[in-house]
């Protein structure tokens, strides 16, 4: 697994200062300067598939569009891609061979919408947005979420691609549930953005942990766990073992720490340290756990932190597009 920062694309405007950043220098610089600012608009998202997703978000943001529209458009890219095996169409199934999807969305007014354990719908994020905008509720699950989606004109499709089915059948031979950390360098996509107006929104979508029990729900559709946005302070989103993120109300914690004055990276780091402490208290092996947070504040400063090295995140600003390695607690 590589922990090298990969520079993907930058415009001629990309500054030498930015190019000099390494994950290590982000960490030490944060301590000195408490900043890693890019201004607005800006969008960041988890893992390397965030690069493509950010471009879709960027085309909304750079033309003056709203952060809410940007994050929805952005995460729909991996959701619709059958080759991305951890989100939407093509996602790995649960142990019964069923692809069940989790997603949530939050805007600058604290409007929220979420779906969990949703089957057969390629773009759960858009169903989550419809829950937010068209129902008196904030979360729909399982068959209720599916019935609502169908009533809104979403189309029922088979989401289990051949490759995922083959792998699942292979898995069935041993049926051992042991989620692998940093698998393929992409898992859940969490995306947070600030538009030209300075407003924040976020979206998070996933097929969850492969071969989970049917009905299992992770952090990704839970506001405050997998995603949180406070338009006065900042936004955060998470990836990794959802059980651990839920345990610390992860993204709410990150945003509250930013409210108390932490930089985005410091806030993510402190949340990760809490995961580390609780794992030790519970006498579990930290090596089996990955959690990564990314965060953005109202000044356009951003950062990330994770338990184990190997988590990266994509950032898109007017200066171009970058993939950055997150700081980490253990190698």
- SS3 assignment for the chain: CCCCCEEEEECCCCCHHHHCCCHHHHHHHHHHHCCCECCCCEEEEECCCHHHHHHHHHHHHCCCCCHHHHHHHHHHHHHHCCCCCCCCCCCCCCCCCCCCEEEEEECCCCCEEEEEEECCCCCHHHHHHHHHHHCCCCEEEHHHHHHHHHHCCCCCCCCCCHHHHHHHHHHHHHCCCCCCCCHHHCCCEEEEEECCCCCEEEEEEECCCCCCCCCCCCCCCCECCCEEEECCCEEEEEEECHHHHHHCCHHHHHHHHHHCCCCHHHHHHHHHHHHHHHHHHCCCCHHHCCEEEEEEECCCEEEEEEEECCCEEEEEECCEEEEEECEEEEC
CB of 62 to ligand SD4, least distance (A): 28
Closest CB to ligand SD4 among 242 and 303?
Answer: 242
> Which region among 33-41, 56-64, 236-244, 279-287 touches ligand SD4 (by CB under 6 A)?
236-244
| 327 binds ligand SD4 per the rule CB under 6 A | no
Closest CB to ligand SD4 among 114 and 206?
Answer: 206
Closest CB to ligand SD4 among 241 and 316?
Answer: 241
Q: Residues 174-203: x/- map of binding to ligand SD4 (CB under 6 A)?
A: -------------xx---------------
Binding residues for ligand SD4 restricted to 60-119, rule: CB under 6 A: none
CB of 188 to ligand SD4, least distance (A): 3
CB of 289 to ligand SD4, least distance (A): 11
Closest CB to ligand SD4 among 206 and 263?
Answer: 206
Q: Among residues 23, 65, 90, 240, which is the contact residue for ligand SD4, using CB under 6 A?
A: 240
Of 46, 100, 188, 205, the active-site residue reads 188
CB of 103 to ligand SD4, least distance (A): 11
> Which region among 64-72, 90-98, 237-245, 294-302 touches ligand SD4 (by CB under 6 A)?
237-245
Binding residues for ligand SD4 restricted to 267-326, rule: CB under 6 A: none
Q: Is 3 a residue of the active site?
A: no
Binding residues for ligand SD4 restricted to 198-217, rule: CB under 6 A: 206, 208-209
> Which region among 6-14, 53-61, 240-248, 272-280 touches ligand SD4 (by CB under 6 A)?
240-248
Residue 134 to residues 127, 148, 149, 220, 318, Cα–Cα distance (Å): 10, 10, 11, 21, 34
CB of 206 to ligand SD4, least distance (A): 5
The answer to whether the CB of 301 falls within 8 A of the CB of 270 is no
- Please give the positions annotated as active site: 188
* Interface ranges with ligand SD4 (CB under 6 A): 187-188, 206, 208-209, 218-220, 239-242
């Amino acid at each position: 697994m590589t922990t090298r920062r990969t520079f993907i694309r930058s415009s001629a405007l990309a500054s030498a200062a930015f190019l000099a950043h390494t994950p290590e220098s982000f960490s030490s610089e944060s301590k000195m300067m408490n900043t890693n600012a890019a201004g607005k608009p800006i969008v960041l998202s988890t893992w390397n598939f965030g690069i493509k997703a950010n471009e879709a978000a960027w085309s909304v943001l750079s033309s003056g569009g709203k952060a809410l529209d940007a994050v929805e458009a952005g995460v729909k890219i991996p959701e619709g891609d059958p080759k991305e095996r951890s989100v939407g169409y093509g996602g790995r199934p649960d142990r019964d061979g069923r692809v069940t999807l989790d997603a949530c969305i939050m805007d600058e007014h604290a409007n929220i919408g979420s779906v969990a354990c949703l089957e057969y719908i390629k773009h759960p994020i858009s169903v989550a947005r419809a829950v937010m905008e068209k129902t008196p509720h904030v979360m729909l699950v399982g068959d209720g979420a599916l019935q609502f989606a169908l009533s809104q004109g979403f189309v029922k499709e088979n989401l289990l691609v051949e490759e995922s089915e083959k792998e699942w059948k292979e898995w069935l031979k041993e049926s051992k549930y042991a989620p692998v950390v940093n698998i393929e360098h992409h898992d859940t996509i969490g995306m947070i953005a600030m538009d030209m107006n300075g407003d924040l929104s976020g979206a998070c979508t996933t097929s969850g942990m492969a071969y989970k029990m049917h009905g299992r729900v992770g952090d990704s559709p839970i506001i405050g766990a997998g995603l949180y946005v406070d338009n006065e302070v900042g936004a955060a989103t998470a990836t990794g073992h959802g059980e651990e993120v839920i345990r610390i109300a992860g993204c709410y914690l990150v945003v509250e720490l930013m409210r108390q004055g932490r930089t985005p990276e410091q806030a993510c780091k402190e949340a990760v340290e809490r995961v580390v402490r609780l794992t030790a208290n519970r006498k579990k092996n930290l090596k089996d756990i990955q959690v990564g947070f990314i965060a953005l504040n109202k000044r356009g400063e951003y950062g990330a932190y994770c338990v184990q090295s190997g988590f990266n995140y994509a950032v898109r600003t007017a200066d171009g597009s970058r993939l950055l390695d997150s700081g980490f607690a253990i190698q």
